[in-house]
C-alpha cells in the first residue's frame, strides 16, 4: 500500500521586506523564484515560492513578506529551522560564499554521524542550515549556472521545537506514517515511510520560551500527499483523532487542509499536484504576478499596492 504522506511538500516563513527576501533566497542561496503570487488569505501580501526549476514538492521554501513587520521569537510550539541539502564537496564553497555576502554562520556540532552543517539566518533572523551530504537521492541542481555543482538540492530536514516529545511523535508515526530513525540527546529524527530525504527533527526544549509569531519565524510546515483521495483519508483520520482540521482549500497549485499538532506547530497536508507549472511554462516560472481566478478582478489594484520587486542574478555571481 502506498504511503499517505510522501514527505515534505513545503515550508512557509514570514518575512518583513519583499526585495530583501528575493535577494537572499534567489540571490545568495541561489534558489529559483518559481512563483510570485499573493497570500490567498491576505492578498495584499506577496507569496513567494523558492525551489528547484519546476517547484517540485520537497524543494520549496515559501515566504509571506509583510512590510515592516516586527521580528518574532523562535521558541516552543513552532518550527525553528529549515535545513537544505547540499553536496558534501561544497563545504568550502559555501563558507566562502556566505563570507562574501557577509552572512554570519557557525558550524553545527555533528548530530547523527554522517553529515556536516552550517547554521545561518536570513535578514529577518529565520533559522536555516546547510547540510552537506553525499545522499544519492539528491534531486539535481536547483539553481542556474552561478552555483552549478554546488547548488542546494532540496529540503534536508525541518526542526520542530516542543515542550515534550510523546504526543508529537505519536502524530508523526500513527497519523503521518513517519518512523523514528535516530536520536541523540533531546533531538529525535523521523523519516517518512517512503524514505524521502526531508526528515522531521523534534527537539524537546521544555525550558525554552514559547515562540512568538513575527518576521523571521516559520508559519507552517506542509506535508505532501499524492492526491485528493489520500488527502481526504488523512483529514478523516485527523478529525477522528480529535484534531480541529480545516476544510480542504483550493490553493490553485495544490489543495490543502490545516491543523495544529499537539505542541502547537501549524501543519498542512498538501496534494502533489496540479503543480506550479499549470499557469506558467517551466522556463518562465516566477516572472509574472500570478493570481487565482477569484482575484483577477483585483489585479490592477494589487499590482499598484504590492511593492515592485526586481531580481538581478548578476549581483550574486
> What's the CATH number where 211 sits?
3.10.180.10
Mean pLDDT (whole number) for 234-257: 98
Q: Is the pLDDT of residue 196 over 70?
A: no
Mean pLDDT, residues 75-81 taken together: 98
Q: List the grid coordinates of 152.
A: 542546494
Structural domain of 92: 5-316
Predicted local confidence at residue 1, as pLDDT = 58
Q: What angle do CA 274, 277, 279 make, to 5 degrees?
A: 95
Integer Cα distance of 10 and 224 in angstroms = 8
**Res. 235: pLDDT tops 70:** yes
Q: Sheet of 5-15: strands edge to edge? A: 32-39, 42-51, 60-65, 5-15, 217-225, 266-271, 255-260, 249-250
| Mean per-residue pLDDT of the chain | 93
Cα–Cα distance, 258 to 268 (Å, whole number): 4
Summarised one tens digit per residue, pLDDT across range 95-137 is 999 999 999 999 998 888 778 999 999 999 999 999 998 754 4
The number of domains in the chain is 1
Q: What is the pTM of this model?
A: 0.96
Give, in order, the Cα–Cα distances in Å from 297 to each of 160, 293, 303: 39, 8, 11
The predicted structure's pLDDT at residue 138:
47
pLDDT confidence of residue 195: 64
Amino acid at each position: 500500500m502506498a504511503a499517505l504522506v510522501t514527505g515534505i511538500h513545503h515550508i512557509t516563513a514570514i518575512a518583513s521586506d519583499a526585495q530583501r527576501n528575493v535577494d537572499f533566497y534567489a540571490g545568495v542561496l541561489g534558489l529559483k523564484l518559481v512563483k510570485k503570487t499573493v497570500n490567498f488569505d491576505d492578498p495584499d501580501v506577496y507569496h513567494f515560492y523558492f525551489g528547484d526549476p519546476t517547484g517540485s514538492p520537497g524543494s520549496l521554501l515559501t515566504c509571506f513578506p509583510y512590510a515592516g513587520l516586527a521580528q518574532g521569537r523562535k521558541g516552543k510550539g513552532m518550527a525553528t529551522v529549515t535545513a537544505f541539502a547540499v553536496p558534501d564537496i561544497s563545504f568550502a564553497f559555501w563558507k566562502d560564499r556566505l563570507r562574501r555576502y557577509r552572512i554570519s554562520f557557525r558550524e553545527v556540532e555533528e548530530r547523527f554521524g554522517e553529515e556536516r552543517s552550517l547554521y545561518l539566518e536570513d535578514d529577518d533572523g529565520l533559522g536555516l542550515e546547510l547540510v552537506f551530504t553525499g545522499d544519492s537521492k539528491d534531486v539535481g541542481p536547483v539553481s542556474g549556472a552561478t552555483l552549478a555543482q554546488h547548488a542546494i538540492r532540496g529540503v534536508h530536514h525541518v526542526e520542530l521545537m516542543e515542550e515534550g516529545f510523546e504526543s508529537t511523535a505519536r502524530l508523526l508515526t500513527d497519523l503521518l506514517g513517519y518512523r523514528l530513525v535516530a536520536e541523540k540527546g533531546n533531538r529525535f529524527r523521523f523519516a517518512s515511510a517512503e524514505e524521502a530525504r526531508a526528515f522531521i527533527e523534534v527537539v524537546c526544549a521544555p525550558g525554552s520560551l514559547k515562540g512568538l509569531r513575527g518576521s523571521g519565524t516559520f508559519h507552517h510546515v506542509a506535508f505532501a500527499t499524492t492526491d485528493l483521495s489520500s488527502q481526504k483519508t488523512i483529514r478523516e483520520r485527523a478529525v477522528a483523532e480529535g484534531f480541529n482540521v480545516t476544510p480542504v482549500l483550493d490553493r490553485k497549485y495544490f489543495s490543502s487542509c490545516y491543523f495544529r499538532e499537539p505542541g502547537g506547530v501549524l501543519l498542512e497536508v498538501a496534494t502533489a499536484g496540479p503543480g506550479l507549472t499549470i499557469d506558467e511554462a517551466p522556463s518562465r516560472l516566477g516572472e509574472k504576478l500570478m493570481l487565482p481566478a477569484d482575484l483577477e478582478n483585483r489585479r490592477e489594484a494589487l499590482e499598484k499596492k504590492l511593492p515592485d520587486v526586481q531580481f538581478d542574478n548578476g549581483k550574486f555571481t
